Amino acid sequence: MSQPNPLRVAHYLKSVHELHQLPPDDGIEVAIAGRSNAGKSSAINAIVDQGALARTSKTPGRTQQLVYFEVAPQRFLVDLPGYGYAKVPPSLRDHWQVLIDRFFQTRQALRGLLVVMDVRHPLREFDQQMLAYGSARGLACHCLLTKADKLPRGQQSRALLETRRTLGERASVQLFSASSHLGVDEARTRLSQWLELVPGASPAAD
């Protein structure tokens, strides 16, 4: 029998384009980052078990602000802009960079970082930058190797092993597929623990 999904009630709260728009800095927040073609929105929707909580589009780069989803009082998922292939002016990219940098430096409610990476192209520059932010803050970090259904099982295993070897103790990592639901329960459990939505949860647990 499957366990209840405490993230199922997630709902849109607000979008943040400037630091002063952030909610009060209390409670617990988990940031979700990923290049704009890594399947981040699809991953979020699969984990919360909702069809369209996060935007999905054939045009990458739709998330252009920090998007807050509330899953319980003072418990938030924060969808970060994925600007790998986003077709936006350089000035806006620079603005995102400053916003994300300040968010990681100053946000005391931030407890964990989920980095979404295409299993066929893991640990690109953006991914490394996000993990560096997480490491600098001492956050618990977890990586999803998305679109795993695109690879045969042997290649999936090799990609997982190689990514784990490269990451070392900086982050945990798993295979994930929004379409086949591979790894959805594992990712859901991880986020629920970080947000302290399950008994005995520890936000710093690896």
Going from the N-terminus, what domains does the chain have, and what CATH number goes with each?
11-194 (3.40.50.300)
- How many whole angstroms separate alpha carbon 46 and alpha carbon 64? 21
- How many whole angstroms separate alpha carbon 66 and alpha carbon 32? 10
Write down the mean pLDDT value for the chain. Answer: 89
Tokens 């045009």, residue located? 59
State the pLDDT at residue 1.
46
Model confidence over 151-169: pLDDT tens digits? 999 999 999 999 999 999 9
For residue 67, what pLDDT band results from cuts at 50, 70 and 90? very high
Q: Is the pLDDT of residue 35 over 80?
A: yes
State the pLDDT at residue 51.
87
State the pLDDT at residue 50.
94
- How many residues in the chain? 206
In the predicted model, what is the mean pLDDT of residues 75-79?
97
Q: What percent of the chain has pLDDT over 90?
A: 76
Q: Is the pLDDT of residue 184 over 60?
A: yes
State the pLDDT at residue 206.
44
Q: Is the pLDDT of residue 204 over 60?
A: no
In the predicted model, what is the mean pLDDT of residues 180-202?
89
Q: Is the pLDDT of residue 56 over 90?
A: no
In the predicted model, what is the mean pLDDT of residues 75-81?
95
Classify each residue of 139-166 as buried b or exposed e, where b means 16 or more C-beta atoms within 10 Å of its C-beta.
Answer: bbbbbbbbbbeebeeeebeebbeebeee
